[in-house]
Amino acid sequence: MQLSDVDLYNAENWVEGVPHEAFRLLREQAPVFWQEVPEADGKGFYAITKYEDLVAISKDPSTYSSWRGSTMIRDLPKEDLENTRTIMLNMDPPQHSKYRKLVSQGFTPRMTAALEPKIRKTTAEILDRVTPLGQCDFVRDIAAELPLIVIAELVGVPLEDRHKVFEWSNKLIGFDDPEFGNTEEVGKLAAAEIWMYANQLAEQRRKDPRDDLVSVLMMGEVDGEKLSEVDFDSFFLLLAVAGNETTRNLISGGMRALLEHPAEWKRLKDDPSLLNPAVEEMLRWVSPVNHFRRTVTRDTELRGQKLREGDKVVIWYPSANRDEDVFPNPMHFDVGRTPNNHVAFGIGEHFCLGANLARLEIRAIFDEVIRRMPDLEFAGPVRRLRSNFINGIKEMPVRFTPSPAVAA
Amino acid sequence: MKIIVDYDRCEANAICMKVCPEVFEVRDDDNLYLSTETPDESLRAKVMEAVRRCPRQAISVKD
Ligand code: HEM
Ligand code: SF4
């Protein structure tokens, strides 16, 4: 493979897997690489593939803005751009800092730990539904369920509505994959539906507050200001997307990695105390989020490359997580890897708000799977999501020795 | 060496505590506490590692 063969933008090049060979080449030969984009989608961008650069850019929002051109590669029409800026992911300080302070009250270690019993119980129930069957689709039947229920719990979506939210979030993220409805229109419609749903939910909680995150957010204040209706709806939309697909794909992708590395899978089963480092290694290995974009706010330089105000840079998490300068033997999946300072959750200004929650969910699932499905194996081909944004798996048939449900 | 924590940015995720428990402690009340603001020079490398690793850029050091 040569530099001239690299095309990180074309989703076709992500069907078989993350293009790690291209990333290796870029890290070695062109760590600030100019990538063209089809004209209809706007200007090209600089692809950033080194760990150190990803960290520096994420920590410097005044030079590398999430607000100016949003965090998606595709350039948006002005009106759409303005809409995306109501989401904190697409804000810069000082506005971002204010929002972050308000909503982070719902994600402190204590708030997260308080969800643990519920997460454990839900996980046991999810496994109860499949263990007697001896086979299932790991994605739909196991990985997808927990993140959905946790978000639903977090924001107080009634259980009977959660599959609506599931469907909308699929449509939002999967716009590059024909199976989920390949048009931007479908995505916009789904966003509008989530938006309306959030609006109703907030209305209910304002009238009838409970002890869920929605109520906390509706009542919370920063500098004497409350979240507006628009703010709330945007945050809900962000959670429905950011907390769902990512965690689901980490769980599916992590399971896949274990099955493809039988020695590591066995090592983990033999020594469950490796669960924590194993989860971190799955995060490094899978990197569910492939990229985010920043827009340069002033002329600057990166590794000798001049960047001009208005230029787009795109930071690639899976590449940073296999950077030879940071991780010894990066292409080796090692459930005991320490230290493991991966950046699957980003870093700096927008460091994943749900990182601890996601870890809790992932640990709960694998804890149960190790104990109750130790002979789990592939039972059919793994089907991947066609996307340059999310490292996703659509379907992963597995089989195992059936065992009875355990919960009452 | 003097440690300064920007408590407006700190989110108590305890990453600094894992790197340097001698200085940083996140307690059950979801707050970060420093056992000392002026740790011994022998801890400098660890403290600087915490500065680097803090995902929220909440820690700084004055000499
Ligand atoms: C394995 C699972 C997850 C991964 C890999 C992941 C990854 C990320 C990344 C890379 C960012 C940084 C964005 C940037 O720098 O522009 C981010 C931000 C964010 N994540 Fe996650 N995430 C995960 C799970 C979750 C969960 C479970 C939630 C919530 C329930 C969540 C909520 C958020 C929010 C709200 C932000 C935006 C923070 C801000 O703009 O300040 N994430 N996530
Ligand atoms: S690592 Fe940073 S954000 Fe986390 S507790 Fe320490 S100072 Fe606070």
Relative orientation angle of helices A95-104 and A229-242, to the nearest 10 degrees: 70
Please identify, in words, the CATH class of the domain defined by B2-62.
Answer: alpha beta
Nearest-CA residue for ligand 1 atom 19 is A352
> Residue A407 falls within a domain, yes or no?
no
Three-state SS for A240? Answer: helix
> Residue A272 falls within a domain, yes or no?
yes
- B12, B55, B57 ranked by CB distance to A108: nearest: B12
Nearest-CA residue for ligand 2 atom 4 is B13
Q: In the numeric block, which tokens belong to residue A263?
A: 């020695």
Report the domain count for chain A: 1
pLDDT at A181 over 60: no
Gap between the Cα atoms of B24 and B16, Å rounded: 6
Q: Out of A68-82, A106-120, B47-61, which region has the weakest mean confidence (pLDDT)?
A: A106-120
Average pLDDT for A1-24: 96
Q: Which ligand is nearest to the CA of A104?
A: 1
Q: In this complex, do A109 and B13 lie within 8 Å of one another by their Cβ atoms?
A: yes
> Residue A71 falls within a domain, yes or no?
yes
Which ligand 2 atom is at minimum distance from the Cα of B24? 6
Confidence of residue A124 (pLDDT cuts 50, 70, 90): very high
A64 sits in which H/E element:
strand A64-65
User: A161 lies in which domain range?
Assistant: 3-399
What's the complex ipTM?
0.87
SS3 annotation, A302-342: ECCEEECCCCEEEEEHHHHCCCCCCCCCCCCCCCCCCCCCC
Confirm or reject: Cβ of A392 under 6 Å from ligand 1: no
Give the closest residue to A111 by CA, choosing from B45, B18, B3, B11. B11
Task: Give the residue extent of every domain in chain B.
Answer: 2-62
> Residue A404 falls within a domain, yes or no?
no
Question: What is the per-residue pLDDT for A174?
Answer: 59
Q: Is B45 exposed, middle or buried (0-12, 13-18, 19+ CB in 10 A)?
A: exposed
Q: Out of A11-20, A48-57, A63-72, A153-162, which region has the weakest mean confidence (pLDDT)?
A: A153-162
Bridge pairing between strands A291-296 and A305-307: unpaired
> Residue A217 falls within a domain, yes or no?
yes
> Residue A408 falls within a domain, yes or no?
no
Categorise residue A173: left if φ over 0, alpha if ψ from -120 to 50, beta otherwise. alpha
Confirm or reject: Cβ of A146 under 6 Å from ligand 1: no
pLDDT at A9 over 90: yes
Closest residue, chain A, to B26 (C-alpha): A109
The pLDDT tens digits of the residues spanning A248-266 come to: 999 999 999 999 999 999 9
Residue A158 sits in a domain of what CATH number?
A: 1.10.630.10
pLDDT at A179 over 80: no
